[in-house]
Structure 1
Amino acid sequence: MLGLSTTLLLAATCLLTSPGVSTETVITCNVDTVQRLSCDIGVIRVEEALYGRADAETCSEGRPPNQLANTECSQGEIVDVLKRRCDGKTVCEVSVNVFGTPDPCKGTFKYLQTKYTCLPAIRLVTCEHSLAQLQCDQGQVISVYGGSYGRYDQTTCTYKRPASQIQNVDCSQHTSIVSESCNGKNSCTIKASNSVFGDPCYGTYKYLEVAYTCLFVSTERAITCGSRHNVQRLSCDIGVIGVRAALFGRSDSETCSEGRPESQLTNTECSQVGTVDVLKRRCDGKRECELNIQVVGTTDPCPGIYKYLDTYYTCFPAIYSVTCESSLAHLQCDEGQIIFVYGAHYGRSDQTTCIYQRPAGQISNVDCPNPTGKVADSCNGKNSCTIRASNSVFGDSCPGTYKYLEVAYICEYPGVIPQQLPEY
């Protein structure tokens, strides 16, 4: 089962449509000069870019018609180059020579046009050999927009440094190491050093730039007392479940103690091994999850002690889809974004989903969980993806039961690597 992501840039993406986020467009006609992107507030996220020509009017002054005629001229992978160099910075300057060759349309007068958004963010700069400390308030987690290690000017981290160590300002190395180490945590420390990030420019004194935001996530707790036939229900009004911790047993003498003799409450170091793994397999990535205590209570961790199931879980923002058996699940992201699957299940866990004109015998088995990584294997990294909800794809975990496919996913920008749910 694929671990649940906490990158949560779905929430950051939602900021793009809020009134507090500005979108800018910069056009540079003379490709021998430098294009400058900047944010007075927040950090850069490149949305679109063109090096070439898309119309006959832009940057046309003083140019003969033959240099403006080709309006379907564009250099490939420009957006990716600009995103690597500029995303997560407050200021970014680029010249056309960073795009390389070949010339996309010889004889045509070209221009560089970039559309970018200023995203609210915390920006942190840490000089080489020092420690970068990312910190959020209680109840929040880190979500890294971007990180780069190198040198881009002659003013940052220059104290007592010889000129030779700060003259190379074309030392660019976009890195995902910060997001890999810090996403989903409340605080995170990482060293700005060549041993962590590699050395993109030998002999240059470097610094680490990180742009991140702090996101609120709601944490819930469910306690179910007693009999193994009792049912525990986890649910998220918004988002999907990510189980953080779970105990089947007893850790104190007060919980679920009403009407119980003292002898049944004395052992407060009683726990069933593997409880959290069972709950994560059954519940991660779902909006609702119900299970009998007997699912985790396969053995008795402390005979004679009155036990309970105590679960902590978080509700993560996500796109959630349900597809009935034999139908096609279609996962779709906006242009420029790619799919990252939190989790997927194929089976049946209730008697209300995908039941139209189905006989009772085909929907009675609600203990048919089958977490699967096949959706992630097929769809991760794509802009859109179609997969059939069928036994031929996922196997038949419960013959005779009419099943459905549940998928929870986010749409991510390339280069940002979502992480598994951190340990707490």
Structure 2
Amino acid sequence: MCPDEGQEINVYGADYGRRDSMTCAYKRPQSQIQNTDCYSPAPKVAQSCNGKNSCVIRASNSEFGDSCGGTYKYLEVAYVCQFALMLLRTRPLTCCVTVSTERALTCDDVGNVQRLSCGSGVVVVTEALYGRAESLSCSEGRPHGQVIQTQCSQAGAKKLVKTRCDGKSECELNMDLFRTSDPCYGTYKYLDTNYTCFPAHQTVACEQSLAFLRCDEGQEINVYGADYGRRDSMTCAYKRPQSQIQNTDCYSPAPKVAQSCNGKNSCVIRASNSEFGDSCGGTYKYLEVAYVCQYPFNFIQIALMLLRTISTERALTCDDVGNVQRLSCGSGVVVVTEALYGRAESLSCSEGRPHGQVIQTQCSQAGAKKLVKTRCDGKSECELNMDLFRTSDPCYGTYKYLDTNYTCFPAHQTVACEQSLAFLRCDEGQEINVYGADYGRRDSMTCAYKRPQSQIQNTDCYSPAPKVAQSCNGKNSCVIRASNSEFGDSCGGTYKYLEVAYVCQYPFNFIQN
């Protein structure tokens, strides 16, 4: 659905099937999610929805066919909401954009990982210190002699962090990277990084493909960062042998992209060893580029037009055994507005059902909305297995469904790996309002850099962390440690992380004025 009256749906692409083992996988048996080469285009979505203001379509084999029997599938749709041409001629565009400022601080224990991430846009490192600049950070349980030296910094630390992280949407740094030299022997050190999340285009070109960078008329390319190599096993991996994608510590900066493309309106560059060198023979590589399109300075002085939208979404899932409902936001975080488990009308999830199972339309389970909000608010994505709601039956004999309405709300998102500090901060005069916070682990990729498999394989280990809201709401800035001593150890032996989603808002009396 589109949020504004007068807007129309335009579907960019839709697939039905399965192409990874993590999506719509909550509590599904392994046999139903292991086939990740099972998907096909779903043009019926565009045929049914293009030109409408809202549209409902069922993700089912009867709608899109069953290309791989026994696999639990999902429907992926990418679409935009746009005004009709006539309306665009008369409707003004107004808005503003925010460049968020973030900070990550990680104590220098063996194996600790610092994670920089941007919910939207890319990382631009402004400051990084490995050493010690004050005596309070990472001082818990340390003797006085290990924290008294506050003029300690490793030369080149900022350059190392910038080289590895600038231009990425996310980046992880193991403390082992900085132990090549000791700037102050006997002092307990930390890595303190300040960075901004800057709006940018991101493009990936697999080896021997072309990367196309292009801007609107009158704009110029400015490359933030580019790397060539491989840093994960999923990108550009389709039907490649395992031996070609297993080396994920194989990448290096590609300054040639900026040299070739900066200042141009469009640019084409080939992702190849002949262009960027072969730093790890036998590995199938890819080129990652982050860039912005900007007007020359004199144009910016005349006009700046940007748009920010809060989208409204709906998910409806029939109550069959093992079915999974997925809420997701391309940017921003989920804020659940309504959720009903039961039945409010007779049409939804009625296909093939006897009349007696759909006639009762005043059926709702108490507490369903609270359960969905508890698990999903503040997340960029969230999955709910229908088994969660079968603890009680609000209307015996009625075939039920889970109907959830939610918004994707712009928010700051920060992740702090275990034994790191999470920094929440707002502009002067604004206050923090935490939407949601969890501590634990719900995937095997976050805060995983060089951690042993045994510490990251339990991905059903997380719980709400209300202490973040209790400590930070109403403040202009806030620091909280991601640790078992703060949030408890719900799954011993698992290396955890703290996820926080929050907004910066002016106090009510400020808004009145």
TM-score (structure 2 length as normaliser)? 0.38
Bigger-Rg structure (1/2): 1
Structure of greater relative contact order (alpha carbons < 8 Å, 6+ residues apart)? 1
